A and B are shown apart, each in its own frame.
Chain A
Amino acid sequence: MIKLWKSITIPSYFWMILGTLALTGLWRLMSLIYSPIFVPSPGETLTAVVGLLSSPEAVADIANTFYRVLLALILLTVTGIAIGMLAGFNPWLEQIIKPARDILIAIPPVAMTLLVIFLFGGGTVQTVATAVALGFPLLYGGTVTAMRSVDRDLMEMFGAFKASKAVQFWEGFLPAVIYSVLPIVLLAAGLTVRLIIMAEIIVGMNTGIGNALSIARVHLATEEIFAWLLIMAAAVLIIEGGLLYLVKRNLLKWQAGR
């Protein structure tokens, strides 16, 4: 018996579940101490989640935000990888782009949003553009780094096979770069969700989750803010999980194809 007990190791997910329960318990405790306007209980929040997910307006808000996130993510991935590859091939270009990149990294995202509003007004295009500009350095930097690690071993191999330059690029270099940049795209997905919501709130869009949040705050509907927080966390997890799944499947295909 004793031996059996000793051989049981407590799995890590047990502690994670315990941690989640502890957080929920703490939350419940806080909701007992403070009024629902400050801390709604987990039950009230879940009701609000169900309420939001079954109301057509909230679903439309989610769809709007999701559309903007997708647009921004695609744009910043394509531009980031394209310009990153150009800079990777031309070190002088990398240096010339560097100040712009430094500014985009250093600028407080809210300030960037205000600048865009001032210069171009508010709207979906401007919201997306803000997220693209702020997410761009992540993808661009990732691509430049990826190219440094890819080119040596791969180019040598292709050189040995005497493949043409075009084949070297399209069949060898590009897939290798994109493959090593994929984890960064994953990182950028979560970032884009947060940037778009921020931009929606500051631009003052009248659609989207940012708008729903602004309204909830004005009405002191704290349980709705809590509900959005949960929905957003779940959405980010689903987006990251979904992308990860796609990446893994395509990776297997890619490897099988070789």
Chain B
Amino acid sequence: MRASIGSLNRLFYLVGLAIILLVWEILAIRIAAGGLPHLNTVMDSLIHLAETGKLWQHLAVSWHRSLTGFAIGAALGFFAGAAAGFSKPLYYLLKPLIGALLTFPAVIVVMLAMVWFGVGSGVAIFITALFTFPIMYISVVEGVGLIDEHLLEMAAVYRISKWCLWWSVYLPALATAILAGFAFAAGTAFRKTVMAELLGSNDGVGYAMAMTRFSLDTAELFAWVAVCLLVVAGIELAIVKPVARHLQRWRLPGKIMKAGFGE
């Protein structure tokens, strides 16, 4: 019974996807002159990008930037979050900084970064790190909060060794938090990189998108959008979904949602 509901849901999902493609195709026929390219034109454009090597070149640049920025932001967020999780004063001390990072529109910060770093990798890495940091920070602070007080008390009663305490009490709670933060920040990181590239870079997926505006090549823009969707879907299927399955009881707090959405 359960399996049949699942497959029915999958069927409806595919129907929804088919409707989107169908509406697109009809619109493309209707407003052929208006700039909406046909599906096969977009596919051709995508294949062309892959064959000329443009796709891999820009994708590699963006991928590298988003990974670097993500690693820096996640590492800083982890250490700051762990420290703030164990120390209330530090938590409140950092609160204004985190609050500011969550309210600042990323585009404005991109503009500042363009003044600071000039055009190049610096802007994208900086922006990605800066907006990965609060996500990881909040996740880890919450993770420390999840540590079971009863287990700590029990450990004290039974005089469990420090090492054992870390291994069996702290680490599981923190690992949960780190995984949740990682999963949520991964998709965000790529989108932030693309945005930074679109405004202030001379290579990468974002730059390639911005260029289609001047060449007026709509099919290529759609091809790049498809690439972005594939990358995010890939991250989702490879990282987020498996993690979420393991962490069904973990609920992302609203603040993480806020950090994840929008620019």
Measuring CB to CB, which residues of chain A are less than 8 angstroms from any residue of chain B? Answer: 10, 12-16, 18-20, 22-23, 37-38, 92, 95-100, 102-103, 106-111, 114-115, 117-119, 134-135, 138, 183, 187, 190-191, 193-195, 197-198, 201-202, 210, 213-214, 216-217, 220, 222, 225-226, 228-229, 232-233, 236-237
Contact = CB atoms under 8 A, between A and B. Distances in A.
Given A97-B16, A195-B263, A187 B257 contact: yes
A107 B20 CA distance: 15
Contacts of A193: 105
Contacts of B263: 109-110, 194-195, 197-198
A96 B111 contact: no
Nearest to A19: B93
B225 interface: yes
Given A12-B92, A97-B16, A23 B105 contact: no
Contact of B221 (A106, A115, A195, A201): A115
9 smallest A-B Cβ distances: which pairs? Answer: A95-B12, A15-B92, A96-B16, A106-B232, A194-B105, A198-B263, A19-B93, A108-B191, A191-B262
A19 B96 contact: yes
Nearest to B95: A16
Q: Is the interface of B mostly helix, strand, loop or mixed?
A: helix
A140 to B, nearest CB: 13
Contacts of A214: 111
A22 B92 CA distance: 12
Contacts of B106: 194, 198
B17 to A, nearest CB: 4
Contacts of A100: 16, 20
A110 B209 contact: yes
A167 B76 CA distance: 54
Contacts, number: 173
Interface of B: 9, 12-13, 15-17, 19-20, 34-36, 88-97, 100, 103-109, 111-112, 114-116, 187, 190-191, 194-195, 198-199, 206, 209-210, 212-213, 218, 221-222, 224-225, 228-229, 232-233, 236, 254, 257-258, 261-263
B19 A108 contact: no
A202 B12 CA distance: 35
B96 A20 contact: yes
A118 B224 CA distance: 14
16 contacts: A14-B92, A38-B115, A92-B12, A107-B229, A108-B190, A111-B221, A111-B228, A114-B210, A117-B213, A187-B254, A187-B257, A198-B263, A225-B115, A226-B112, A229-B105, A229-B109
